């Protein structure tokens, strides 16, 4: 670990974080919980899991993987699943690949602008894409200055990348979408998703789950 790196706990494991990636946030752990729910895996001991909507050997794509925290947690929690992850940043992919190797997670990594360069069919696409709009005056930009702008900011009220991903998921006929966004964006995302044949299943914290209606 060099002077710029630090360790951050995510879903009970240590991830190495460098200035090239977003620092994983606690609210993003819900993305992992939601996918475990979709495959009917218990999250808390003694709590009965929900009825599975997807098989344990489902295929999962994490778009905008950053440090790899979501993809790696999913690969380790669901050993039968096929997990792929992509990011537009080569440096971020380097960090994610090192974390995967250290934690023993098998993941197919790919450099890609959203799903453009990723082949294959996926049962579920998860994404914590940049969703902060630079015009938001309630954001403490100084506190975010240690993280890359490409991991934080998006145009169109922060929704530009999320909307593009929803459109791509519609074209690729992805059955389930699990997206993180600020709660102030949830209504607009729900409407856009509906226009693109995705119906909102549930919202938990920052995390929205959609199911296709096609
Ligand atoms: C908010 S960070 C999330 C990182 C990680 N998934 C997490 O939850 O900690 C967003 C990530 O999306 C990547 N990204 C930004 N634009 C992208 C694009 N057009 N296609 C793919 N990845 C993109 C950034 O490089 C960054 O790693």
Q: Residue of the nearest CA to atom 7 in ligand 1?
A: 24
Alpha-carbon gap, residue 22 to 145, rounded angstroms = 11
Is pLDDT of 85 > 70?
Answer: yes
**CA of 131, closest atom in ligand 1:** 1
The structural domains of the chain, ordered by start, are 6-41+52-212 (3.40.50.150)
Beta-strand pair 6-10/13-17: antiparallel
Rounded Cα distance between 117 and 174, Å, is 16
Q: What percent of the chain has pLDDT over 70?
A: 100
Say how many Å lie between the CA of residue 109 and the centre of ligand 1.
13
Cα(181) to centroid(ligand 1), Å? 12
Taking CA atoms, 98 is separated from 26, 60, 63, 69, 149, in Å, by 21, 20, 18, 11, 22
When the pLDDT of each residue in the chain is averaged and rounded to a whole number, the result is: 96
Note the pLDDT of residue 141: 86
Name the percent of the chain lying above pLDDT 90.
Answer: 89
Q: CA 109, 111, 117, 118: dihedral to nearest 10 degrees?
A: 20
Query: Across-strand partners of 9?
Result: 14
Please give the number of the atom of ligand 1 that sits closest to the Cα of 10. Answer: 9
Whether the pLDDT of residue 3 is over 80: the answer is no
Residue 213 has pLDDT above 90, yes or no: no
Asked if residue 104 lies in contact with residue 79, where contact means CB atoms within 8 angstroms, the answer is: no
Q: Is the pLDDT of residue 156 over 90?
A: yes
Instruction: Name the residue among 179, 128, 133, 125 with its Cα closest to residue 22.
Output: 128
Mean of pLDDT values over 113-130? 98
* Termini Cα distance of the chain: 47
| Residue 49: predicted pLDDT | 78
pLDDT value at residue 143: 87
1 — pLDDT class (breaks 50, 70, 90): low
Separation CA 72–CA 82 (nearest Å): 11
> Are 37 and 50 a contacting pair, CB within 8 Å?
yes
The pLDDT tens digits of the residues spanning 165-202 come to 999 999 999 999 999 999 999 999 999 999 999 999 99
Ligand 1 pocket at CB < 6 A: 21-22, 24, 28, 63-67, 69-70, 86-89, 92, 113-114, 128-130, 150-151, 161
């Amino acid at each position: 670990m060099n002077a710029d790196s630090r360790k951050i706990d995510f879903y009970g494991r240590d991830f190495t974080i460098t200035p090239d990636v977003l620092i994983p946030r606690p609210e993003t752990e819900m993305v992992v919980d939601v996918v475990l729910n979709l495959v009917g895996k218990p999250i808390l001991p003694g709590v009965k899991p929900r009825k599975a909507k997807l098989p344990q050997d489902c295929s999962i794509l994490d778009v905008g993987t950053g440090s790899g925290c979501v993809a790696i947690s999913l690969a380790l929690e669901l050993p039968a699943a096929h997990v792929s992850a992509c990011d537009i940043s080569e440096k971020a992919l380097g960090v994610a690949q090192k974390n995967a190797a250290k934690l023993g997670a098998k993941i197919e990594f790919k450099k890609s602008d959203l799903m453009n360069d990723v082949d294959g069919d996926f049962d579920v696409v998860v994404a914590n894409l940049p969703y902060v709009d630079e015009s938001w005056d309630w954001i403490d930009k100084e506190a975010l200055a240690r993280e890359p702008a490409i991991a934080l900011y998006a145009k169109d009220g922060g929704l530009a990348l999320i909307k593009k991903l929803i459109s791509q998921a519609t074209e690729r006929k992805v059955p389930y979408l699990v997206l993180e966004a600020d709660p102030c964006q949830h209504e607009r995302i729900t409407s856009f998703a509906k226009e693109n044949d995705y119906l909102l299943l549930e919202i938990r914290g920052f995390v929205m789950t959609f199911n296709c209606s096609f």
